Amino acid sequence: MSLSHLHPMLVHFPIALVAFGFLAELASLIIKKELCFSKISLFLLLFGTLSAVAAWLSGSFFTSEMGGAAGVVKDTHELFATITMALLLITSLVRIIIVYSKTPKKTLKWLSFILYGLASVCVVATGYFGGTLVYNYMMPL
């Protein structure tokens, strides 16, 4: 196994963890009396963030350069990956602040929810452009 296989193996974790984490966050807002959804959302966010950092690093260091149309798609994929990782890091920081603050901050909770939603949209876009690279430019049928 070469190191170039590392990125394709890691990219599925942030997609799944962030998507299900955001759904748990949404459930925690709808079902306010149930605290388990909020905790599940937090853990999925933290593990999703760590996996996104790992996927981003593996993509940055272990994938080859591309030119032409594939290079444009790869640049777009990298841009969305960087935005996703930044949003996840900020959202994780806000959620940690919420957990450790003594008084609940409603504004921070909504900020966290919005950032988590944006990160979820960005992780889907990142996956779309990554899939486009694989299916349209690297794996001829």
pLDDT tens digit sequence for 21-56? 999 999 998 987 777 998 999 999 999 999 999 999
To which residue do tokens 């790869």 refer? 74
Packing angle, helices 36-62 and 106-132, rounded to 10: 40
C-alpha span between 117 and 107 (Å, rounded): 15
Q: Is the pLDDT reported for residue 113 higher than 90? A: yes
To which residue do tokens 């909770």 refer? 109
pTM of the prediction? 0.90
Q: Any idea what DSSP says for residue 82?
A: H
* Higher pLDDT among residues 141 and 134, named by residue: 134
Q: Is the pLDDT reported for residue 120 higher than 60? A: yes
- 13 near 44, Cβ under 8 Å? no
